[in-house]
Structure 1
Amino acid sequence: MPSTRGSPALLSAMSPALTWMLPGLLGFAVVFHVSRSLYALERGRLAVSSTAIGWVGVAVAAVVLTTALVPRVPDAARTLVVLGGASSAGMLLGACATLVALRRAAGPQALEGLARTSLVLVSTGVLGAAIGRWVTDAVLSFSGHGWAAAVGAGAGGGVLAAVVVAAALMLLDRTTVRDVIRLDRRPAGPTWPTWRGSPGQPADRSSDVR
């Protein structure tokens, strides 16, 4: 098998591979945050099982997608892109699993406002990523493709994308931003849910093993 070290095709595949991995970052963030919430509610079994669903999904998607989309002839560049997509598919599955687990553990009130916030984040995230990518490419086209220029252009594009998303949240989803700030400033207290209609005591965890 020929070596792929320094292959121009492999290097050029990094950009689409990272692009396909991008949606998975959203899923990973949800898994990370919601699993911590489940641990705080002492629903460790639900946290572990729902997180495992995501990682198993990554492995299964990698096998299925590479089998279906990568030809029998070794194609490292296409394999890299397919693995990026598999990572996103598994992490988004894990995000859905942890959200279902949180609803089961804490009730439907735990997911209030999720649809609105998700819509704002996804739509403005795509816009911010597109603007950041455009700025990064524009800077690189003028400054060259050295490592210093690449790091600087990438950092600038990332900051610009973050600013776009933050501004959109402040304009379109102020309620969530205000709630997060208020909760962050509130003194530490019980870890049980405190939203309207939630129980004041730990939920029955016997259903975790069903």
Structure 2
Amino acid sequence: MGNGPLRVAVIIGSTREGRVGDAVAQWFIARAGDRDGLVLDVLDLVDFDLPSGLPEQATREMKRFAGRIDAAEAFVVVTPEYNRSFPASLKQAIDCAYDEWRAKPVGFVSYGYRSQGLYAVEQLRSIFTELHTATMRDTVAFNLLDGTFARDGTPFDSDGQGQAVTTLLDELLWWGLALREARAARPYVC
């Protein structure tokens, strides 16, 4: 584990054709990449051939995904809101790992119509609590209808969104380093 930069996996949760999740994630990564003390690993679910149903034995792709989750010390989940929830592809990916999530912080970048994806985030909080993670209070959230997105799906910069990224990263870094030290001092019990 060491004292190096915090290893943060940025998980792009949508696999839908025509998604804006990749553009939202790249916008976030550009801002987070300027932050000292972090090393980012992008896990775009489009790049993983995860099965639509969980088999009795984990596939090679499931193991590859779980290995990347295990190597991370913190997570940022980029999720859309579909029908007041998050995509099935994201739930399937979450279920490919279990112990690998434990005692690590999770932050959220969400997007949707009007509600900014916050219904999806609230449901994800329940799931990540069950996995023994610490979810961050503050989020980065976008309303796809408010004119803050360019034609290619990239968000325009705004002071409010920039401050939201700073706040999320401040929390994630604090929790990530605290939990890193805790895991090094003693095994997590559950």
TM over 0.5: no
Name the one with the larger helix percent.
Answer: 1
TM-score by length of 1: 0.27
TM-score by length of 2: 0.29
